[in-house]
Amino acid sequence: MRKNILVLKKSKCQQRICEILSVIFLFLVIACKKETDVKVLTFAHNLPTSHPVHKGVEAFKEHLESLSEGKMSIDIYANGNLGTEREVLELLQIGSVSMTKVSASAISNFVPEYLVLGIPYLFRDKEHFFNVLEGKIGEELLEKGTTSWLRGLCFYDAGSRSFYTKKKPVKEPKDLEGMKIRVMGDKISVSLVQSLGAAPTPMAFGELYTALQQGVVDGAENNAPSFVTSMHFEVCKYYCLDEHNYLPDVVVIGTKSLEKLTLQEKKWVFEAAKLSAQKQKIFWQEAEIQSVEILKKSGVEFFTPNKDLFRVKTEVLKTEFFKDEKRLKMIEEIEQLK
């Protein structure tokens, strides 16, 4: 009898344990389901987290999470940890990474239409620049990449690019003669430096600090926030504000990743990107002012040259690259836009 009671007690106890276990199991299933329900896109870029472009990417993530009410998110890999701009674009093409932010220079090696943006002194001012990029021409450029599996989502401000040098200042084009200047790998950047009499040396951004330090190159060219956050100003003490071009950054999604999204998810991604571009403009303005202050405090000497001297020398690029009628038409369209 006692034995029977014990058996009964044991089976009740087992039943209770089973009940508790099934509740725990149910919670785990729900928790896991919640976890996998969030669609996470990977985003890789080559700039440091202190850069205003990275802040734009963070805003993109926040907008996407809020528009989708937590159903979508972004994992950001900065500092070139997943590769150079070129390598990451290739990862996008095969679908291993979902999104990136690269210079228009880098994407022009895959989608040549972007080359037009690197033409020296193409944009009259910031207003003209944004009217082009946020209008029909910009939209067409973003779409163009689709045939190369690289769909542009929006443009980020990357200011204007100017020369910085290590040993001697550049005050006019002739000072560049014989200097080795690091450039991004696209045709326009190479020809631009060539037309000014210097020797262009293509190299990834992440390799540049050491190259400057070791004297592999005599200088480079970039906007002030990149000059500061890359710490190149520790090596180069001369900054010549010739502002030879306004080359934007482009936020891109690989079409392999895009195709996996539902219609609604695509809408959220496009909208969040566009909203982040508006915020990034503000981050950029603030960073430009702060960067100039940092550079001056660090003993970097600024020069404001006669830009016309640079303009005349680089004029040749328009005729060289845009012999092609379609491209020439694009330049004319940009120039005519208010």
Angstrom distances, CA of residue 58 to CA of 63, 153, 252, 311: 9, 15, 15, 36
Among 53, 97, 181, 235, binds ligand GCU (CB under 6 A): 53
For position 201 contacting ligand GCU by CB under 6 A, the verdict is no
For residue 329, give Cα distances in angstroms to 116, 191, 237, 324, 333: 11, 21, 40, 9, 6
Q: Of the two residues 85 and 265, which places its CB atom closer to ligand GCU in the complex?
A: 85
Residue 160 lies near ligand GCU (rule: CB under 6 A)? no
**Per CB under 6 A, does 184 bind ligand GCU?**
yes
Q: In angstroms, how far is the first alpha carbon of the chain from the final one? A: 99
φ/ψ (deg, to 5) at 263: -60, -45
User: Is 242 an interacting residue with respect to ligand GCU (CB under 6 A)?
Assistant: no
Longest dimension (CA), the chain: 109
- Residue 46 in the binding site for ligand GCU (CB under 6 A): yes
With respect to ligand GCU, which residue has the nearer C-beta, 72 or 179?
179
Tokens of 333: 């369209």
Query: Which DSSP symbol is given to 168?
Result: S
Residue 243: closest CA among 291, 310, 334, 180? 310
Among 151, 159, 145, 141, which residue's Cα sits nearest to residue 243?
159
Per CB under 6 A, the list member of 100, 103, 245, 276 interacting with ligand GCU is 103
The smaller minimum CB distance to ligand GCU, of residues 68 and 84, is found at: 84
Q: Which of residues 42, 98, 108, 222 is near ligand GCU by CB under 6 A?
A: 222
Nearer to ligand GCU, 68 or 291 (CB): 291
* CB nearer to ligand GCU: pick between 72 and 119: 119
Of 103 and 280, the one with the shorter C-beta distance to ligand GCU is 103
Give residues in contact with ligand GCU (CB under 6 A): 46, 53, 85, 102-103, 158, 184, 205, 222, 226, 249
